[in-house]
Amino acid sequence: MKEIRSYNKLLNEIINLNIEFRIEIIGYVIYFNKIYPMLALKHLSKMANKTIIITSGQHGNEPYAITTLLKWLKQPIMIPEFNYYIFPCINMFGYAHNRRTNGARQDSNNDKSFYKDSPVKELAILYEQFPQTASLILDVHGDSGKSEVYCYEHKSENLPSIAEKAMIENDNLIPYLKTKTIYKIPVTNGVIVPPKEDIGIEGVLEKLGVQYSLTLELPAKFDGQKRAEGGVAIINSILRHFKEVK
Binding stretches for Zn ion (CB under 5 A): 59, 141
Q: How far is the CB of 215 from Zn ion (least distance, A)?
A: 8
Q: How far is the CB of 95 from Zn ion (least distance, A)?
A: 12
Q: Which is nearer to Zn ion, 174 or 216 (CB)?
A: 216
Q: Which is nearer to Zn ion, 51 or 109 (CB)?
A: 109
Q: How far is the CB of 243 from Zn ion (least distance, A)?
A: 27
Q: Which is nearer to Zn ion, 82 or 95 (CB)?
A: 95
Q: Is 134 left (phi over 0), alpha (psi -120 to 50) or beta?
A: beta
Quickly list DSSP for 39-57. EEEEE--TT--EEEEEEE-
Q: How would you label 7-27 residue by residue, b for 16+ Cβ within 10 Å and e otherwise?
A: beebbeebeeeebebebeeeb
Q: How far is the CB of 157 from Zn ion (least distance, A)?
A: 27
Other CB atoms within a 10 A radius of the CB of residue 208 amount to 16
Q: Which is nearer to Zn ion, 45 or 110 (CB)?
A: 110
Q: How far is the CB of 195 from Zn ion (least distance, A)?
A: 17
Q: At what angle do helices 63-74 and 224-244 cross, to 10 degrees?
A: 60
Pairing assessment for the beta strands 181-182 and 22-31 based on DSSP bridges: unpaired
CB contact set of 119 (below 8 Å; sequence gap of 6+): 106, 113
Q: Which is nearer to Zn ion, 161 or 215 (CB)?
A: 215
Among 105, 17, 75, 83, smallest CA distance to 232 is for 75
